[in-house]
Chains A and B, each alone.
Chain A
Amino acid sequence: MSINYSEKIPNNVDLANDRTLQRALERWQPEFLNWWRDMGPEGSRNYTVYLRTAISVDPKGWAHFDYVKMPDYRWGIFLNPAEPDRRVNFGVHKGEPAWQEVPGEYRSNLRRLIVTQGDTEPASVEQQRHLGLTCPSLYDLRNLFQVNVEEGRHLWAMVYLLHRYFGRDGRDEAEALLERRAGDADNPRILGAFNEQTPDWLSFYMFTYFTDRDGKYQLCALAESGFDPLARTCKFMLTEEAHHMFVGETGVGRIIQRTCEVMRQNQLDEPNKVRALGVIDLPTLQRYLNFHFSVTMDLFGADVSSNAATFYSTGLKGRFEETKLNDDHQLNHETYPVLEAQGGQLVTVQVPALNALNERLRDDYIKDSIGGVERWNKIIEKHGIPFRLKVPHKAFNRKIGPLSEVKVNPQGAVVSEAEWAAHVDEWLPSQADRAFVASLMGRVIEPGKFANWVAPPARGINNQPLDFEYVRFN
């Protein structure tokens, strides 16, 4: 279905024929724009940015590139086309027609899922709002803004569902999404990782690689939902989400590339000497990786969770690639291995598969994360440097669930508090690490120029040259 851009809120959900909903969303729209003005990218008000905007949801139309004045980006509501005769594909309702309206008994659980997902979207915009001031190139600045406007659009996607299907409660939740603030002590965002800071571009790349990838897995699971509007919304969000992970993977890759080049040129491997040449040493990259990976581990929720079991059994949230899996899609008799801390040791225990769905999604995510880390290692390998990055053990640095009660080192061994304290600066970014990375951050906005600590990308956006004017400051 084509997107109607002649309306105040671009959409492909026939908003014009639902006057109540249209009015409700038109009331929310200025509040969103106020939020964007206050919490969106700092100082970006008059920038014109070479952005990708969807003009329809089919492959040919959704990647339309042009210059857009930042606050005039057309946030709207886009759902993937409906799949005819779609069914609920898992849980107790397996085989029934997919729901086009919210089943009354699942109303609060669905709302909770949508709010939790929706809350992450504005949160990351808030976390990243100062990064434009220290961008390493116009190309990167453009990518940051692309990520930001799409996170904004993802908020719209969730708010549409709240308004359309959850009445008064939904409208209240939609407002609360604009009131919480990342890192605010009194009214924080719902999930921990979204209250952390994204103070520098290394953090930004790591965040988009690791944390946005959690977004991918959550959206994949929700795209399997028996509640069809949620599934279709998430499917379309996934196509946008890919760009965010691209920014992360290539961003970290380009830092590695640059560091390795400098190490080779100068025949250096000692971190301090590498730092002296204005690039980020590989051990520091490993520590940032450890931090972002472990913080993201927590986003998947408790290892053993009755909520997760309920969401699945009731057909609200599936597994990653649910419909491609070959089993009964009910999981009443299967078990799944989960880690537990017992007497100062990590042990694997079998728990009912239904209760371990968070863990299972976490494991799927870990596999995917490792793939990209291996691609980073190829860059290091190419330069003949005997260093390899590694994702830490999944029990490392956990803040929620039973594993948060023990200290585990990156290799997966339980350690004492004293040992942890003695080594924590080798495992996680120290104040000094963060200060060093911060010291490299300076603004580079000359077309085609890149900060010293990051290599140029292999290709420009939409095949544009690297010295393309991706952002105009007017």
Chain B
Amino acid sequence: MAAATSGVELARQHLIDPEICIRCNTCEESCPVHAITHDARNYVVNFDICGAHLCMACIGPCPTGAIDSWRQVNKAKPYTLEEQFSWDVLPAEIEFDLVEEAELPEDVVEITAQAAAGQGGPTTPPWSAAHPYINLYSIKKPAVATVTGNYRLTAEEVASDIRHIILDFGNTTFPVLEGQTIGILPPGLDANGKPHHVRLFSIASPRDGERPHYNNLALTVKRVTEDHQGNPVRGVASNYLCDLKKGDQVQVVGPYGASYLMPNHPGSNLIMICTGTGSAPMRAMTERRRRAGGEGGELLLFFGARSPGELPYFGPLMKLPKDFIDINLAFSRVPDQPKQYVQDLISVRGRDVARLLKDENTYIYICGIKGMETGVNQAFHNVCRQHGMDWDQLLPTLRQQGRYHVETY
């Protein structure tokens, strides 16, 4: 059963499972606020009283576990006592279509908040974005995917090892959208004997699969061998993923992300700005547009790496028709050439950038190393000034309309 939730405040309602309850009265006896009562048939919980306390005093004493039953409900319309009195079994769980990220794993909430900090906190998705599924698989109940491919994207001669990893979900439902992330649970325990934290990775393939109409998806993973300061460190999840072989099984949670999504209406333009593995969502969106044909408007890509050999997807990218995507590559470590960054190219392409910024069908996506948003922001600032616009005024509008999305790490 599904219910729409626009404007609905949800709550967890405490209930007693009439199939398991033995009517022993222990809960009623132990409830300090007298929220529990009974008739000849059932023991029931008063939502107004219990919901205000949620002290859990009844949970431990219940001999059956029937007391530990919960349903997500519309807060304004909880199950009444009369309804509960009439039950032989608990009602089926109502699946509220939730856009907000309720009860995500702590790690995911933290990482997502940090990643989205560059856009000034949570934002809304484009109005024409497809509806995402979120948090279908939890840490307690992860999905299992099988590795069907693991290819190095960067040239052999460069140190940077970036890989294209394909995970197949077989018969397991795992619907995703471009721009969403999934969580990987590395096996084993950390130095403290606890399970490793979840690591999030952007999906690099479009919604209909890495291979069209297959239940698979691709990730772009860089093997982490040093931290941001250049000190040697071995990334647990990235090394685990980069070392996976075909046929290996991986525990996956998610999907996550309800706002970093692409618009799907005709004429919607994308400005995509990325570095390194930040290209994953851009690849997904580009591939979506290529396959969907005629869905959107212009694609303008700014892509930075140290050298062409370290730029993931360099080869396939170069094969895309010029009238399909406008590609601007910035390299910061090419011998005998001046260092160039994505923000430099935004300024170079100022006229086209300004034209797109004036179009309310333009959506901006930034993904890559933390800190890049500062330079990019400055570049937009300059472009606007040169073309008679005010970035400081435009940015809040873009955010509000779900047209400015940042994911940096």
- Which chain B residues lie closer than 8 Å to A367 at the CB level? 40
- In the docked arrangement, what's the CA distance between A378 and B41, Å? 13
Q: Return the contact of B22 from the options A58, A245, A378 (Cβ within 8 A).
A: A245
Report yes or no: B63 in contact with A62, Cβ–Cβ below 8 A: no
Contact flag A458-B23 (CB < 8 Å), given A243-B63, A463-B68: no
Q: Return the contact of A372 from the options B19, B22, B25, B32 (Cβ within 8 A).
A: B22
Q: Return the contact of B30 from the options A239, A245, A246 (Cβ within 8 A).
A: A239
Report yes or no: A62 in contact with B60, Cβ–Cβ below 8 A: yes
Nearest to B41 among chain A residues (CB) is: A371
Report yes or no: B58 in contact with A59, Cβ–Cβ below 8 A: yes
Report yes or no: A242 in contact with B20, Cβ–Cβ below 8 A: no
- Which chain B residues lie closer than 8 Å to A63 at the CB level? 60-61
- In the docked arrangement, what's the CA distance between A125 and B68, Å? 30
- Which chain B residues lie closer than 8 Å to A467 at the CB level? none
Report yes or no: B63 in contact with A238, Cβ–Cβ below 8 A: no
Interface string of B57-101 (1 = CB under 8 A from A): 110110111001000000000000000000010000000000000
Interface string of A235-248 (1 = CB under 8 A from B): 10011011101100
Most buried by B among A246, A249, A250: A246
| A60 contacts partner chain B, Cβ-Cβ < 8 Å | yes
Report yes or no: B24 in contact with A246, Cβ–Cβ below 8 A: yes
Report yes or no: B61 in contact with A62, Cβ–Cβ below 8 A: yes
- In the docked arrangement, what's the CA distance between A367 and B61, Å? 24
Q: Return the contact of B88 from the options A216, A245, A249, A378 (Cβ within 8 A).
A: A378
| A459 contacts partner chain B, Cβ-Cβ < 8 Å | yes
| B190 contacts partner chain A, Cβ-Cβ < 8 Å | no
B172 CB, min distance to chain A CBs, angstroms: 22
- In the docked arrangement, what's the CA distance between A443 and B252, Å? 41
Report yes or no: A60 in contact with B60, Cβ–Cβ below 8 A: yes
| B26 contacts partner chain A, Cβ-Cβ < 8 Å | yes
| A425 contacts partner chain B, Cβ-Cβ < 8 Å | no
- Which chain A residues lie closer than 8 Å to B25 at the CB level? 238, 242
Q: Return the contact of B57 from the options A59, A235, A372, A458 (Cβ within 8 A).
A: A59
- Which chain B residues lie closer than 8 Å to A459 at the CB level? 20, 64-65
Q: Return the contact of A242 from the options B22, B57, B60 (Cβ within 8 A).
A: B22
Nearest to A244 among chain B residues (CB) is: B63
Q: Return the contact of A239 from the options B19, B23, B29 (Cβ within 8 A).
A: B29
B295 CB, min distance to chain A CBs, angstroms: 48
- In the docked arrangement, what's the CA distance between A375 and B64, Å? 15
- In the docked arrangement, what's the CA distance between A253 and B34, Å? 30
Report yes or no: B40 in contact with A242, Cβ–Cβ below 8 A: no
Report yes or no: A371 in contact with B23, Cβ–Cβ below 8 A: yes
Contact flag A239-B26 (CB < 8 Å), given A59-B57, A60-B60, A246-B63: yes
Interface string of A209-246 (1 = CB under 8 A from B): 00000001000000000000000000100110111011
- Which chain A residues lie closer than 8 Å to B40 at the CB level? 367, 371
7 residue pairs from A and B, CB less than 8 Å apart:
A239-B29, A241-B24, A242-B63, A249-B22, A371-B23, A378-B88, A459-B65
The 3 closest A-B pairs by CB, nearest first: A242-B24, A63-B60, A59-B57
